[in-house]
Every structure is written in C-alpha cells, then in structure tokens.
Amino acid sequence: MDAGRPPPPEPALPDQTPDRAPLEQAYRAEATRIRAALAARTGDVGLAEDAVQDAFVEAIEHWPRDGVPPNPGGWLATTARRKALDRLRRDKAGAAKLALLAAGEGAADAGPDDGAADQRADDELLSLAFACCHPALPADAQVALTLRAVCGLTCEQIASAFLVSEPAMSQRLLRARKALRQAGAEVRVPDPDELGERLAGVLAVVYLVFNEGYLASSGREPARRDLAAQAIALTRTLHRLMPREPEVLGLLALLLLHESRAAARFDGWGRLIRLAEQDRRRWDAELAAEATRLLDRAIALRRPGPYQVQAAIAALHSQAPCYEQTDWRQIRLLYDRLQMLAPSPVVLLNRAVATRYAVGPEAALAEIEPLAADLDGYHLFHALRAGLLGGLGRDAEARLASERALALAANPAERELLTRGLSL
C-alpha cells in the first residue's frame, strides 16, 4: 500500500442516503470497534481506517437498495475485513499483514455478546489509542489521529476543533499515518516496562477527547456525549490494566466527577447552565461517590499528580451543598499545587476564579492581568475578566471584554450564554 496515497473520501452519510438514520447509528455504534479490531490484527492504523471507510461507502451503495441487514455490525465488520484483504492483496509488502488478517478470520465476526468479547474489544480499542499516541508523532498529531481513528470524528470535525482548514487537517492525518508506518508502531498495549513512559501521552489525549465530548470546541453540537463516554470507557480499561497507577485513578475520578454533573449542565432548550446555577439534585450521587473512592485510593498511593489534584478540586465542588458554600480557599491551595506540578497560564486563570470568592474580585483581577499576553486568544480569559470588571463597577471595560469573549467563543452554547450577558 502506498503510504503517500491520500485516504479515500469519507462516506457522506448526511447527504447521500434516503434514510440515513440506520447508517448514522451503525457508524456511531460500530465504526470504532471494527477499526480497532482490524488495526489490532494487521498492526496498521491507516489500513484499518481505509477499510472501514470502504465498508461504509459500500453500505451507502447497498443498504438503501437492498435494505439494512439483520446484523449491521457483522455486515460492516465482514465487509471491512474483505476490503482490507483486497488492499493487502494489491500490496506487494502486505503478505505478513495478510496472514495476520486471515488468521483472525471468524473471530472478527463475533459480536460483543459476552464478557470476553467486550474485554477483547476494550483491549483492541486501547491498543489503537496507544498506537495513535506513539512518541514518533507530535502532540497535536496524536490528538488528531486519536479523534479520527479511535473516536470516529470526520476530518471536517477535527479541522474545526483545531481551527484549521479541512485540506490542512487531511494532510496532517496523512503525515501522522505515514510516520506511524515508518516508525514501525505496533497496535498493542505496551509491555509493562514501556507502559510508564507512554502512559502520560495517552492520558493527556484521553482527557482532551473527554473535554471535546463534554463541551465541543466548535460545531453545531454543544456537547458530544458519545465522545465523553468513550473517554471514560478507555480510562476504565486503563484502570483495569493498571489498578495501582495513581494518575489513572485520578483521571478516572476526574472524568466521573465531571460526568456526574452532566444532566444538570443544559436546560430544556439546550442552553448551558453555569455551575453556580445548576440544580445539584440532578447530579449523579452514585457516580460522584465512585469517583471519591477512586480518588481516595489514588491519594493513598502517595504519588501525587496533576489529574489527582484536578479530581480533588472537582470533588470539593461536588461536596459543596451550594456554590456559595464551596471551600474556595482549599480550591485555591489546590490550584497552587497544580501549578507546581503542571505549570500553565490556564491553571492560574482557574486559580483566579477561586481568588474571586476567597479574597475578592480586585485581587482576582490583579492575578489575571499578567496572563493577557498568553491568553488573549482564549475566550474564557476575557469572560472571567468581564465578570471581575463588572463586579468592580467598571462596566464599560466589562462590556468590551464580554464582546471579545463572544468573538472568540466557538461553542454554540457558550456563545448563547455570553450573548445573554452572563460570565462563564
């Protein structure tokens, strides 16, 4: 297979099918699983992606005419495997991969109908995530490739999230796939002696995937619940493989704490609700309790890390009976700790939110003004600044900051919230 050949066009599900619902449902439910299984069997992320796209193109051609098959997932898995075999037979260098794929004949047809199949699917998905986060790739390529191969976002959606053109993102993904081939990257969970050095990159990418699902960086949908669920499933699989790794425990606790508030984050009209105004009775207490147990186990291991500290901050929010009674002083101290572990102007920006309530808006404004050079392009910097200025009676400056925040915000729910004149 020519590593420099561009990938086939993505199946245009919204525009080319009379009844697109079955195809869209199948894509969301099956594409990632099939892609991960093929990548695990052949060791080639690009081949797996191409074969899955080929399978959906064939579905677009046949399903409207012949009807949706009784087992859509099985049909797509079989077709994708056949497409991969066809590509490998045309590839002079594909003999070894062809043998691997042929050896998996039959196993790929088995649906996730029992615990062993579910575990195999999780392992294959995690193997694909580790491949996409290979150290041969720069960080932005790792995230983009994970969003494409593991989460199934289209090139257009990823380009929008990265604020680049679709052709530019297509080339970035092509270069990433080529780099993986040249590096001989294996689609597998690394051996224990390699796992530690690879883990940080995977955790960072999984967290970014969750954030994209929790509040999309752009596009028409304010949130992608399927992406958030996928990130949680990947982290649970990591936890199963590494039950005593504190940062895995910390990340899982952090994601579950955020997820526990998901039902209260939007109102009936799809409008974003600020944390201060959420109905805490709608929070999932069971999920929050699970997260707290995981965090306690992580802290007991006495190897602190950024995800554990962020989970501790989220836990304080979860435990507060109301927004006003949040332990802002303790949260401020935790942000100090987080800044020591993972320095970032965004950490300092979040610390200023705690300062606003623990000390006062004037002190918080003094903290964020030095961040302007680093965060001028970040809408939440201007949104917080607007709130602080408004609290100090500097209304004209607050209005300018709000306008700047609105101009930078890409998420529709955040834009609507800013338009209502509320600070985030």
Give bridge partners of residue 266 from the DSSP assignment.
272
- DSSP code, position 369: G
Q: What is the pLDDT of residues 281-330, one digit of tens each?
A: 999 999 999 999 999 999 999 999 999 999 999 999 999 999 999 999 99
Which residues, other chains included, contact 400 with Cβ-Cβ below 8 Å and sequence gap of 6+? none
Q: What is the spatial distance between Cα 168 and Cα 173, in angstroms, rounded to a whole number?
A: 9
Q: What is the pLDDT of residues 104-116, one digit of tens each?
A: 554 444 444 555 6
- Residue 13 tokens read as 């599900």
pLDDT value for 21: 74
Which residues, other chains included, contact 144 with Cβ-Cβ below 8 Å and sequence gap of 6+? 158, 162, 169, 172, 173, 176
pLDDT value for 112: 47
Helix (H, G, I), strand (E, B) or coil at 266: strand
316 touches 258 (CB < 8 A): no
Query: What burial letters (b/e) apply to 15-31, b meaning 16+ CB within 10 Å?
Result: eebeebebbeebbeebb
pLDDT value for 265: 92
pLDDT value for 373: 94
175 touches 153 (CB < 8 A): no
Q: What is the spatial distance between Cα 422 and Cα 276, in angstroms, rounded to a whole number?
A: 12
CA angle 406, 412, 418 (to 5 degrees): 35
Q: Taken in order 296, 297, 301, 304, is the CA torsion positive or negative?
A: negative
pLDDT value for 220: 62
Query: What burial letters (b/e) apply to 57-91, b meaning 16+ CB within 10 Å?
Result: bbbbeebbeeebbeebbbbbbbbbbebbbebbeee
pLDDT value for 350: 96
Q: What is the spatial distance between Cα 312 and Cα 68, in angstroms, rounded to a whole number?
A: 48
pTM: 0.73
- Which residues of the chain, if any, have pLDDT below 50? 1-9, 11-18, 100, 106-112, 422-424
Q: What is the spatial distance between Cα 46 and Cα 30, in angstroms, rounded to a whole number?
A: 17
pLDDT value for 361: 96
pLDDT value for 354: 97
Residue (of 202, 141, 114, 149) closest to 40 by Cα position: 149
